[in-house]
Structure 1
């Protein structure tokens, strides 16, 4: 994963908390609370635009959602900043079905929040509302008489807690401490997003060497997977469940003893098994990973069946 800073720093620093988890302050919004997250198994089988969500996020159509509860009330801008810091944004809505989903999730995770932030604003051009992700949906659900820009200072939007209708509100008033974030990591159909990259398992009828496996990945615009931290490895262990050994993009073919990632990643993280790498036979220049155990260096011409993983950065 070439975007190591996202996966191994911002990901560990997520303040996004489930409804039953501890609250956090805005000043602590980048403090790690990773220990409350649980590993989830990953399946590459998806319908169009469906994604696999990070642990603690809930999937709906092509997006992932999660609630955040702060120790104190925050305004719209602060809520949006918290979502941005963790790879997402306030919810965007393009249909009645999506509005119902967001309304119901707010109802179950932010029980006493009557005004529920949405990522819709006209702060740039009065009366021309736009979504924070620049999506262009024409769907709206304004309450009768809204938006009315009361006091000439209502440039942001909330959803009412009793019926899901929308109202424009001040962007700077601190109305509540619980809100939803949406993550719309977009990957090609059949690929699974994680930490700024997209992953997919492939099946090949015959066993493949390291170079053959990498060539297969490159034909689909990808590369062999890279592993920049423990969270990456846990994800891959889950993603490749049942596959035993599989190639990763780590090799010292260009300089014995100096392993490099094939996609250019510069992470120093490793998970070698005991006494590895040992370059047995003086020809072990490529790395394989064993689910739940660690890495081993092997001859690059060794062939492994039948599944392999590719990554798009």
Structure 2
């Protein structure tokens, strides 16, 4: 859901995305102008969209649910490769979160895994990011959910 307010200039609006249901609290996503909303999802790969804006995991999820379907769920190696191609040498949020690492944010069961060696290990980190660099090569690591990272959204098929 999003809320837009008219500014003084004709055709200019200030918008914010909100998720009214998450843990019975309201999560405000940073403000976006109507002119740059589509610019955030400028790179698409199949059903995935690389969002070139750093947000916390919760805010990234709210953004994806407003403008796409959800944070990216990765079902197989082919889809993981699409995400690797999209993000370059970045660490980005994907939709996996701690519930014994079994559920994607869209509610589907986590049957495919591409964890980096030794991960997940940190019991204090509850969200997953994929890391594209010489060490991890697109494998997943657990991450602090409050860290601001770029992220991958998906559209339903």
TM-score (norm 2): 0.63
| Cα offset, 1:288, TM superposition | 0.4
Number of paired residues? 112
Q: Is there any run of 5+ residues in structure 2 with no aligned partner, and where?
A: 1-40
Match of 2:96 in 1: 250
Q: 1:274 aligns with which of 117, 131, 134?
A: 117
CA contact (8 A) 2:96 2:128 kept: yes
SS of 1:212's partner is helix
Match of 2:146 in 1: 301
State the alpha-carbon separation in 2 of the partners of residues 231 and 308 from structure 1.
18
| Cα offset, 1:264, TM superposition | 2.2
Match of 2:51 in 1: 202
Alpha-carbon displacement from aligned partner over 1:98-138 (angstroms, at most 9, x marks no partner):
xxxxxxxxxxxxxxxxxxxxxxxxxxxxxxxxxxxxxxxxx
| Cα offset, 1:302, TM superposition | 1.7
Match of 1:218 in 2: 65
Is residue 135 of structure 2 the alignment partner of residue 312 of structure 1? no
Alpha-carbon displacement from aligned partner over 1:7-30 (angstroms, at most 9, x marks no partner):
xxxxxxxxxxxxxxxxxxxxxxxx
Give RMSD over aligned pairs. 2.1
CA contact (8 A) 2:114 2:140 kept: yes
- Which structure ranks higher in relative contact order (CA pairs < 8 Å, sequence separation ≥ 6)? 2
Q: Is there any run of 5+ residues in structure 1 with no aligned partner, and where?
A: 1-188
Q: How does 1:9-158 map to 2 (within 5 A)?
A: none
State the alpha-carbon separation in 2 of the partners of residues 258 and 193 from structure 1.
25
Match of 2:4 in 1: none
State the alpha-carbon separation in 2 of the partners of residues 193 and 290 from structure 1.
17
Runs (4+) off by over 4 Å: none
TM-score (norm 1): 0.33
Match of 1:288 in 2: 129
Larger strand percent: 2
Query: CA distance change for structure 1 residues 278 and 193 in 2, over 3 Å: closer, same or farther?
Result: closer
